[in-house]
Amino acid sequence: MILNVFALVIDDGLKAVLMQIYESKCRKEECFAINAELLVNKVCDLKFVSDVIGGIILPTPLICLLLKMLQIQPDKDIVVEFVKRNEFKYCRALGALYLRLKGKSVEIYKYLETLYNDYSKLKRQLKDGTFVIVYMDEFIDELLRNDAVCDVNLPRLQKRHVLESLNQLQPYTSILDEDLQELMLQAVEDFINLVLGCKTGEIRMTEGHDL
């Protein structure tokens, strides 16, 4: 079941994830009285990304911290710092999810597309409580392509090609594209050197016969 972010409207039509979160042990013990400064420590302690669990909609630490961020509305600089902190991969994942919820389309592409180059392994808890391994670039791709991630409905994201046509974004180029271009250039250079080497050998053989 996809959750329509919450019974409580937090602005821009975002709703928080059902009243179970407010009554959950996780929220009461870990998130109840924390401010933006304490939030950083809590986020850095995350050990996995997750959906809500089971038919009773049991909220997980990530979902509780996401709700707390929606409540306290941390400064954009704090959120961007979460996204940039590659030494804390779950902090980065939560920051990316929050930015996808609250950021503008141009900001979302600007900060999240850089994470396509992050291949860190993430533990992900499924609805039945089991864990699987996903990769950061896969998680980011879900945020940019899917309508919902971690059982949270995401706002509509403007199409990238529209923002490019308005000159608000440059065309996207991945590191893989750059690497492929370098390999192609190297292959062409090697081929030219091979051809020139063969012709040089032929010339030498011809000169030897003339002698």
Instruction: Give tens-digit pLDDT for 22-39.
Output: 566 555 666 666 776 777
Helix 36-44 and helix 61-72: axis angle, to 10°?
160
C-alpha closest to that of 112 among 72, 47, 176, 172: 172
How does pLDDT run across 67-109, given as a tens digit for each residue?
A: 888 888 888 998 999 999 888 999 999 999 999 999 999 999 9
What is the predicted pLDDT for the residue at 6? 43
What is the predicted pLDDT for the residue at 201? 55
What is the predicted pLDDT for the residue at 99? 96
What is the predicted pLDDT for the residue at 100? 95
Rounded CA-CA distance 80/103 in Å is 10
Q: Using alpha carbons, list the distances in angstroms from residue 138 to 1, 13, 45, 122.
A: 21, 27, 22, 10
Q: What is the pTM of this model?
A: 0.72
How does pLDDT run across 140-190, given as a tens digit for each residue?
A: 999 999 998 987 889 999 999 999 999 998 888 765 555 555 666 666 666
